[in-house]
Amino acid sequence: MSDSDPVAVDNALLFRKVFLEGIAGSGKTTYAAQHMLAWLASGVDPSRLLIFVPQMPLARPYQQALHDSDYGGGAPIITTLASFAREAVRVYWSELAAPLGVGSPSHEPIFLNIETTQYFMARFALPRIANGEFALNDMRVAPPRIISQVIDNLNRAALMGFPLEEVAERLGNAWGGRDSSRLAVFQRARTLALEFRAHCLQHNLLDFSLTIEAFRRFVQPLPEFQTFLQARFDFLLAENIEEDTPAAHDFLAALLPYVQGALLLYDKDGGLRTFLGADPDSAHALRGLCDDHLIMPHSRVMSADMAALSAAFNRILSPRFEPDLQAEGDPSAAFSYSANRFYPQMIEAVADQIAALVAADVKPHQIAVLSPFLNDSLRFSLTYALRQREELHGIQIPVLTHRPSRALSDDAITRALLTFTLIAHPHWLDGLTLSAPPAKDVADALALCISDLDPLRARLLAEIIYRAKRDDQNVLRPSLSAFAKLEADKQARIGYRVGQRYDALREWLDSYRARLEYGENIPLDHFLRRLFGEKLSQKGYALHNNLEAGRVAAQLIASVQHFRQTLYDRYEGDWSEAGREYLSLVSQRLLPSLYAQSWQDENADAVLMMPANTFLLRNRYVDYQFWLDVGSGGWFERLEQPLTHPYVLRREYLPDQVWTDDDEAAAEEAALYRTVIGLVRRCRQHIYIALADLGESGFEQSGKLLRALQRLVSANAEDAEGEASE
């Protein structure tokens, strides 16, 4: 059966398996939420309903729908493949540990997160890199990149379901007969991956790849698991399957025959997570296991003009132009284009426009500012420009930013917390890997953490109260002195209220140090949690009510905690070593911070500022979008990584096919199309396109998106001329 554009839930479909295909904004999720509620209303046991998502935040609309409905029963099971696999591996550990080949089958598995995975990989990679194994003439990749690419290969092999050994072969075949020593490097990467894998097996460490592999190879075939799975769920709802991996699709394929009803949602222009292993093709193959195929071709989000713009982009950018997407509206009314000569002018123009929208009662969360990259400078400058407009117009323009991972030490709040950590643990310092922080860091930490303390007074304060004195081991040990020790005029300049806050913080740190001296043994994450909870998040301190800073602190604490629990599992000794080790990894920039883990702030009424791709992955819809830096190549170029390859390491990629420049160009075109069309379909009213002729680097900008826009503008101009002459 095939239908088009369903609006209301059809109860007849509740007990069928439905493949629902539609463009972003066509109402698939809204429809699916109603479908879920209809299941529950019909008496389906929520604990037997599985909601399967590529990433947890995508389950939010269902949680929200449940919350907003009258339904009072329990919650359905929501999971991703990763968490389901981890749980299954844990449950069936006794059966699979021996065949998996772990060193201590009788011991529990230890699951690694990305940071601890990197930590262990670094242990094997760094000596090899230092030994020059990856320093061939045609390979110049910095150690953290080598580490992350080898991990990528492990993950891809597991998700695609081919043996780890095959990765080097596939990469080598795709490289073809080109003259280079690259093949040798692929082999070395393979050796490194195998070494890491062997270590993990020996110590019961399960990184993401091994978890997936254990699940696929040893849990899924178990008769008892099969029995369990067949009986466990009656209904299945899978969201955004095109953003999920072949391993997830295999799981769904295994589950589908045994459920009474299913709804699989598929966006044919998706595939935004291809670089993370998503495979829209294998997702689409699930259609064959369904009873019905429904299509929702029309957007319920875009205005008529926006739909026309989407059609116009489809015409210009799509490899498969779809004339039926033609819409009635006027594409040129859906966007405006502001060309500025210089980058700062672009930022000011965007800030003005955002302020004008907010002043006209547009909710901040209906505005998204998107650019291919969001570096600190852009984020800072735009946020700062908005702050100025808040003051000027007496309005509130809160901002929420999300950025992909970066070195922990590059984040100011993290650096502040780590500066206090060093002051609180002077005995950790050795003057080599860990040194006393410079006064500037202490000033920054104080200014960032104490309310109403400006950077100047913070500096003045730090220069007087902070001292690092050399001890008998010739190591500088930091300490803070009391505000009261300042000369009276300095106290007055800095301000007594600020002084009290400083003193309270210092006393807290002093008493912590005293407890350590009395032998108390406190892990680093506990210290940070207490510092944050007992002091910095309290009134009078700048992290109080600061969502973003709170999130950063929480992330740091979680990172330290996981590090300790993984590496120091069952450890009962002095925690200093673990803390010191963590800090030295940070100082070597070997620990990137994680992607934003917390999504609770999703509902905050704030302007979203993020890279375009992050926005798309979050599947948000807004009234207004701002596209910055449209001349940049970042709108279509993928991150190039010589040791791995997101397209070659896909299941349907022919193992002996050479990856050519034409393939690369086609992939770029496809990426640009996906991004642009994805953004347009997630915008209701208007897109403000901002360009600086001279990018941040001072060069003229001329990327593919800019050229597409120029064609769009000139096509509109020609149409207008044509109409006028008629």
Partner 1 sequence: MSDNVPSPFRPEQAEILRYNGGKMGIAAVPGSGKTFTLSHLAARLVAHLIRQQRVTADQEVLVVTFANAAVNAIRAKIATILQDSGVVITNMGYRVRTLHGLAHDLVRERPTLAGLAEDFKIMDERTAQSIREDVVATWLRGNGISLFTSYLEDEWRDEPKKLAYLARDDLPKLAQGIAESFIRQAKDRRLTPEALRQRLEGLLESDLPLARFGCAIYENYQRALSYRGAVDFDDLVMLALSALERDSAFLARQQARYPYILEDEAQDSSQLQERLLRMLSNDQNWVRVGDPNQAINTTFTTADPKYLRAFLEERDVQSQTLSVAGRSAAPIIDLANYLVMWTRNEHPNEDLRDTFLPQRIQLTPANDAQGNPPAEEARLQIVYSTGRVYTPDQEIDLVAQSLAQWLPENKERTAAALVPENQHGFKLAERLKALGVPYEELLRSTSSTRETTKRLEQVIKYLAKPISPQSPAQLADLYRDQWWRLHLGSYAAEEAAESDQWLATAHSALAGLKHIERFLFPEDGVLLTEALDLPDSESLEPLYQDLEAFRQVVHRWLHASYLPIDQLVLTVGQDIFSTPPEIALGYKLAQLLRGYALEMPNARLTEFAAELQRISSNERRFLGFEDAEVGYTPKEGMVTIATMHAAKGLEWDRVYLLSVNDYSFPSAQATDRYLDEKYYLRGALNLGAEARAQLECLIADREYIEGEASVQARLDYAAERLRLLYVGITRAKRELGIYWNNGRFHYKGKEQEQQPSLPLLALWSYLNGNPER
- The yes or no reply on residue 711 touching partner 1 (CB under 8 A) is yes
Residue 477 Cβ vs partner 1, minimum distance, rounded to whole Å: 16
- The yes or no reply on residue 42 touching partner 1 (CB under 8 A) is no
Name, in order, each residue with C-beta under 8 angstroms of 722's C-beta and a sequence gap of 6 or more: none
Q: State which of residues 239, 250, 444, 525 lies at the interface with partner 1 (CB under 8 A).
A: 444
Q: Residue 101 CA to chain centroid, in angstroms?
A: 32
**Facing residues of 79 across strands?**
52
Total residues binding partner 1 (CB under 8 A): 74
Choice between 145 and 284, CB closer to partner 1: 145
Distance between CA atoms of residues 124 and 8, nearest Å: 56
- The yes or no reply on residue 455 touching partner 1 (CB under 8 A) is yes
Distance between CA atoms of residues 217 and 164, nearest Å: 13
Strand order in the sheet with 367-371: 335-340, 683-692, 622-627, 367-371, 607-611, 399-401
Strands 476-480 and 466-470: antiparallel
How many CB atoms within 10 Å of residue 34?
18
Residue 418 Cβ vs partner 1, minimum distance, rounded to whole Å: 13
Structure tokens, 294: 């429904």
Structure tokens, 211: 């978890």
- The yes or no reply on residue 73 touching partner 1 (CB under 8 A) is no
Q: State which of residues 324, 472, 640, 726 lies at the interface with partner 1 (CB under 8 A).
A: 640
What are the backbone dihedrals phi and psi of residue 687, each rounded to the nearest 5 degrees, phi first? -115, 125
To the nearest 10 degrees (0 to 180), the angle between helices 547-567 and 412-424 is 50
| Residue 705, CB-side half-sphere exposure with 13 Å CA sphere | 27
Residue 510 Cβ vs partner 1, minimum distance, rounded to whole Å: 26
Choice between 457 and 618, CB closer to partner 1: 457
Choice between 258 and 275, CB closer to partner 1: 275
Residue 397 Cβ vs partner 1, minimum distance, rounded to whole Å: 17
- The yes or no reply on residue 68 touching partner 1 (CB under 8 A) is no
Positions in 9-28 near partner 1 (CB under 8 A): none
- The yes or no reply on residue 454 touching partner 1 (CB under 8 A) is yes
Positions in 358-387 near partner 1 (CB under 8 A): 375-377, 380-381, 384
Choice between 135 and 482, CB closer to partner 1: 135
Task: DSSP letter for 638, please.
Answer: P
Positions in 114-143 near partner 1 (CB under 8 A): 129-130, 132, 134-143
- The yes or no reply on residue 694 touching partner 1 (CB under 8 A) is yes
Q: State which of residues 83, 104, 181, 521 lies at the interface with partner 1 (CB under 8 A).
A: 181
How many CB atoms within 10 Å of residue 372?
20
Positions in 648-667 near partner 1 (CB under 8 A): 660-662, 664-665
Residue 143 Cβ vs partner 1, minimum distance, rounded to whole Å: 7
- The yes or no reply on residue 319 touching partner 1 (CB under 8 A) is no
Choice between 131 and 600, CB closer to partner 1: 131
Contact characters 74-113, partner 1, x per CB under 8 A: ----------------------------------------
Q: What is the 3-state secondary structure (H, E, C) of 330-373?
A: CHHHCEEEEEECCHHHHHHHHHHHHHHHHHCCCCHHHEEEEECC
Residue 225 Cβ vs partner 1, minimum distance, rounded to whole Å: 40
The answer to whether 691 and 631 are in contact (CB under 8 A) is yes
Window of 83-91, 211-219, 339-347, 535-543 that interacts with partner 1 by CB under 8 A: 339-347
Positions in 478-537 near partner 1 (CB under 8 A): 493, 495
How many CB atoms within 10 Å of residue 403?
18
Strand order in the sheet with 2-4: 2-4, 292-296, 17-22, 261-266, 235-238, 49-52, 77-79
Choice between 454 and 605, CB closer to partner 1: 454
Residue 394 Cβ vs partner 1, minimum distance, rounded to whole Å: 17
Residue 483 Cβ vs partner 1, minimum distance, rounded to whole Å: 17
Structure tokens, 479: 């300490």
Q: Is 261 exposed, middle or buried (0-12, 13-18, 19+ CB in 10 A)?
A: buried
Radius of gyration of the chain (CA): 28
Q: Which of 217, 211, 213, 286 is nearest to 255 (CA)?
A: 286
Specify the 3-state DSSP secondary structure of 390. helix
Q: State which of residues 321, 496, 571, 699 lies at the interface with partner 1 (CB under 8 A).
A: 699
Positions in 248-307 near partner 1 (CB under 8 A): none
Positions in 381-420 near partner 1 (CB under 8 A): 381, 384, 388, 410, 412, 415
Q: State which of residues 101, 103, 161, 438 lies at the interface with partner 1 (CB under 8 A).
A: 438
Gap between the terminal Cα atoms of the chain = 46
Q: State which of residues 12, 432, 484, 639 lies at the interface with partner 1 (CB under 8 A).
A: 639
Residue 329 Cβ vs partner 1, minimum distance, rounded to whole Å: 25
